[in-house]
Amino acid sequence: MEDLPDHASWNQWFDRYGPRLLLCARQWTRSLADAEDVVQEAFVRFWKHQRGLGGEPLALLLTSVRRAAFDRARGESRRTAREEQVAGDELEGGAFFEPLLEGNDRRAEIETALRCLPFEQREVLVLKIWGELTFEEIARQLDIPANTAASRYRYALASLRKELTAPVP
Amino acid sequence: MNDDFSNLEAELKRMRPCAPSSELQTRLAAALDRPAAPTAQPVSTYRSAFSWRSWKWTLWPAAVAAAVVLALVITRRPDPVPPITDQTTHPVSGTAAEPLTTTTPVADLYKPVSAENVLYDSRDEGLVTLDDGTAAHRVFQCYLDTYTWRNPRTDASLSWTVPRDEVRIVPVRAY
């Protein structure tokens, strides 16, 4: 991933990473409002305390976003595991993606298929495709073996392909 | 990845996630452009260990003692250990066997790989009134931040853990 220069403003960073952070946050929260709250908390923390650490900023930001989502769930006294909650609930809120040039039918089809994936598979798929993390980074993030992350990713793609019709050329 | 999925992966990568709302941008601006001013949204305020109100003052005597012991150990060491370096010897034809040495600081090889923030205590300190008259909760939270660096060449890792306090001002929302 191409790093932004050190003197870049937070707006430039947020323009680049904000949409992807929000999409990932929505996998770990129950509503769009919750997702925006955790993105805000993580981004402010990153900008104030972690920006100078170097390395991959998106990986650090995603760690912070996931942690903030967990803290939020714990703060709301939800006793069951977060994955089970999110998996059991219908994800609330608006569209995941911007409209496509070729029409919104295809976008809606992909979103519906994505939302129907098991939580563990959807989480890995989103981190890989839009979070641009490697399997090793996903494994560290989720505390699972890298092979498990790769397997979940393949299962997710297989399920999506099964659900989606071929795009119109 | 499996070639069978390459078309699907390419199609997914073309999908652009929705941008965050303008309200979130406004809240970020309030938190980052004017960090000192109280706002109606969660704002992190770091209580420095140098603050008289910080409980971390209790750690300073231990830190000073550790520094003194370290200084004594260093000054009394008979043979100072040279800095750890990668040494590469290049023979030069036609000259005596005098090695040329290039030095690479080992510390440069460490790269940050994770930054974790664990919330281990949170308490509501009651209602406060902001400058604009709105009511908000003052929430005191204690975190344990752990930063990890890894040397990809040797797979050695270095972790740094430090406590951090935050006071967050969370507006009272009416539903």
Q: Tell me the pLDDT tens digit for each residue of A28-82.
A: 888 888 899 999 998 998 888 877 777 778 888 888 899 888 888 776 654 455 4
Tell me which chain B residues have a C-beta less than 8 angstroms from the C-beta of A47.
32
Look at residues A63, A94, A125 and tell me which one is the last residue of a structural domain: A94
Same domain flag for A111 and A79:
no
Q: What pLDDT was estimated at residue B44?
A: 47
Given a contact cutoff of 8 angstroms between Cβ atoms, the answer to whether B158 and B110 are in contact is yes
Chain A residues in contact with B23 (beta carbon < 8 A): 36
Q: Which CATH number fits the domain that encloses residue A162?
A: 1.10.10.10
Distance from CA of B8 to the nearest CA of A (A): 7
- Whether pLDDT at B77 is above 60: no
Q: Report the percent of chain B where pLDDT is more than 70.
A: 61
Residue A72 and residue A34 in contact, taking contact as beta carbons nearer than 8 Å = yes
Highest mean pLDDT among B2-6, B25-29, B45-49: B25-29
Kindly state whether residues A128 and A74 are assigned to the same domain.
no
Would you say residue A6 lies in a domain? no
Do residues A75 and A43 both lie within one domain?
A: yes
Are the Cβ atoms of A154 and B2 closer than 8 angstroms? yes
The reply to whether A5 falls in a domain is: no
- Choose between B78 and B174: higher pLDDT: B174
State the Cα–Cα distance between residues A99 and A102, nearest whole angstrom. 9
Q: Are residues A108 and A84 in the same domain?
A: no
Q: Are A161 and B11 within 8 A, CB to CB?
A: no
Question: Same domain, yes or no, for A71 and A16?
Answer: yes
Average per-residue pLDDT for chain B: 71
Query: The CATH number of the domain where A20 resides is what?
Result: 1.10.1740
SS3 string, chain A, reads CCCCCCCCCHHHHHHHHHHHHHHHHHHHCCCHHHHHHHHHHHHHHHHHHHHHHCCCHHHHHHHHHHHHHHHHHHHCCCCCCHHHHHHHCCCCCCCCECCCCCCHHHHHHHHHHHHHCCHHHHHHHHHHHCCCCCHHHHHHHHCCCHHHHHHHHHHHHHHHHHHCCCCCC
Q: In this structure, are A85 and A121 located in the same domain?
A: no
Closest partner residue to B15 (CB to CB) among A110, A158, A161 is A110
Residue A144, pLDDT score: 93
Residues of B in contact with A125 (CB under 8 A): 12
Domains in chain A, number? 2
**The predicted structure's pLDDT at residue A5:** 55
| Span A117-134, pLDDT tens digits | 999 999 999 999 999 999
Indicate whether A123 belongs to any domain.
yes
- Single out the residue in A74, A94, A114 at which a domain terminates: A94
CB contacts < 8 A, A to B, total 126
Question: Which residue in the block uniquely carries the two structure tokens 């029409």?
Answer: A103
Ranked by mean pLDDT, which of A8-22, A110-124, B47-61 comes out on top?
Answer: A110-124
pLDDT in tens, A131-154: 999 999 999 889 899 999 999 999
- For residues A66 and A114, state if they share a domain: no
Taking CB atoms and an 8 Å limit, are A49 and B147 in contact across chains?
no
Same-domain check for residues A46 and A104: no
**pLDDT exceeds 50 at position B62:** yes
Query: Do A85 and A137 belong to one domain?
Result: no
Q: In a 3-state reduction of DSSP, which class is residue B173?
A: coil
pLDDT tens by residue, B82-107: 544 444 444 444 444 444 444 555 55
CA B47 to CA A45: how far, in whole Å?
14
Percent of chain A residues past pLDDT 70, beyond the cut: 81
Please tell me whether residues A133 and A164 are part of one structural domain.
yes
Domain boundary among A94, A123, A148: A94
Look at residue A150 in the predicted model and tell me its pLDDT: 95
Whether residues A40 and B44 touch (CB distance < 8 A) is answered with no
User: Rounded distance, CA A9 to CA A3, Å?
Assistant: 13
The ranges assigned to domains in chain B are 43-49+107-175
Query: pLDDT tens for residues A76-115?
Result: 654 455 445 554 444 556 788 888 777 778 888 898 999 9
Question: Which residues are CB-neighbours of B171 under 8 A, at least 6 positions away?
Answer: B40, B41, B130, B134, B135, B136, B137
On average, the pLDDT of chain A sits at: 82
- Count the Cβ atoms, other than its own, within 10 Å of residue A36: 23
- Domain span at residue A45 reads 11-94
More confident residue, B50 or A6: A6
Element (H, E) at B57: none
CA distance readout (Å), B43 to A144, B16, B174 = 32, 29, 20
Mutate which of A65, A142, A157 to disrupt the B interface (most B C-beta within 10 Å)? A157
Report ipTM (2 d.p.).
0.80
Of B27, B111, B116, the CB nearest to A40: B27
